[in-house]
Amino acid sequence: MYFFDGSAAKRVPLPDEGMRANAYGTRYAIESMEDSGTIFYWFEYAPRKGLVRVHGEDGGKRRDYYLAYGDGTFDMELAADDEGYTWNTYDAGGEITNETFSDRLAELGYDCLVCCTYLYEDVETAYENMERMPDARRAMEDFVSGKANAVECVESRCETPEQGFWGRNFAEINEEATAGEPWWEGVEYVDFDNDGEEELIMHGYAGARLYFDAVGDRVVKVLETAFTTEISCVAELDGKRVVVKTDLTHGGRQYYWVMTYDGCGCLTDWFRLSAGYEGMEYGAGDRYEYRGRAISMEEFEAIRDSIHGL
């Protein structure tokens, strides 16, 4: 990673070797459901602001680091991980609430991050193309029409990152998602990450959904939800679009997983809202949780009802 001061490019070390600023990342395992994770391939930065987000590993769990450049080095301002199946958030002083973390992302300028997806031969050329913007809608349409594949995973680390990508075309993914039954198929364009551009959602068998975003000139699968116990939709919470995954078909429980993404396809917040009870209906004496802490029935209903579009 380099910093260009207007006359020369200077190499800048990261604060810790465990942080990676390269074209590879790992998966979030929300509630141990592997297909519900988010895969990352690139680091992100805010052009001309000295802000980056890189991805590392801590005890086998993925962690995101939000770094600010100053005085020849990067300092960590924020971090997030999902250790213990909860969304854990931090600043330089230690753990902070999820709500404080979300507020500080915007206050510090990390809501303006873009993906570093273009590779150049030299630093000067990279600097000249720093604010190059891809045509996201065209990338989506090329995928749907069969002209380009969508990236699903990184198979190996290569000198040229693209050589390690594994992708499939629309027809293959659609055939698998619909179990070969065409009446389940369908696509819609929805801005589910609040970046002002519409992303792609593929419909699949019995309510399955696949969520795709354009990262640079490539289409990347961000999220996949299955049928029955993982019915998902795009909803609105506090004026922002969120992806909500639900489990409402089993007796004795109601689960809601609420996920917030940014324009880089990065998960910036998620929580589980749940009710556990005996029989067919919940009551005042049953178990309710929000962000890993116990709440009352009234609080459960208020939070659930604040998610518009369920």
pLDDT score at 36: 43
In single-letter form, the type of residue at position 216 comes to: G
| Pairing state between β 9-11 and 2-4 | antiparallel
Could you tell me which of 102, 62, 71 has the C-alpha nearest to residue 268?
Answer: 102
pLDDT score at 22: 46
pLDDT score at 31: 47
CA distances from 211 to 134, 152, 195, 229, 233 (A): 19, 11, 15, 17, 10
> What SS3 string covers 232-284?
EEEEEECCEEEEEEEECCCCCEEEEEEEEECCCCCEEEEEEEEEECCCCCCCC
Any idea where the domains of the chain sit in the sequence? 1-132, 134-227, 229-310
3-state class (DSSP) for residue 97? coil
pLDDT score at 299: 98
Could you tell me which of 277, 247, 250 has the C-alpha nearest to residue 31?
Answer: 247
pLDDT score at 26: 40
pLDDT score at 24: 41
pLDDT score at 30: 47
What is the spatial distance between Cα 102 and Cα 200, in angstroms, rounded to a whole number?
25
Structure token digits, residue 3: 């910093």
User: What is the CA angle 84-245-256, rounded to 5?
Assistant: 65
pLDDT score at 27: 45
pLDDT along the chain (310 residues), means of 10: 65 64 44 46 76 75 84 87 83 95 95 74 67 80 91 60 71 90 91 93 90 84 80 94 91 93 88 93 95 96 93
3-state class (DSSP) for residue 143? helix
pLDDT score at 189: 94
pLDDT score at 55: 78
CB atoms within 10 A of CB 250: 10
pLDDT score at 198: 92
What is the spatial distance between Cα 207 and Cα 227, in angstroms, rounded to a whole number?
5
CA 212 to chain CA centroid, nearest Å: 11
pLDDT score at 34: 45
pLDDT score at 16: 67
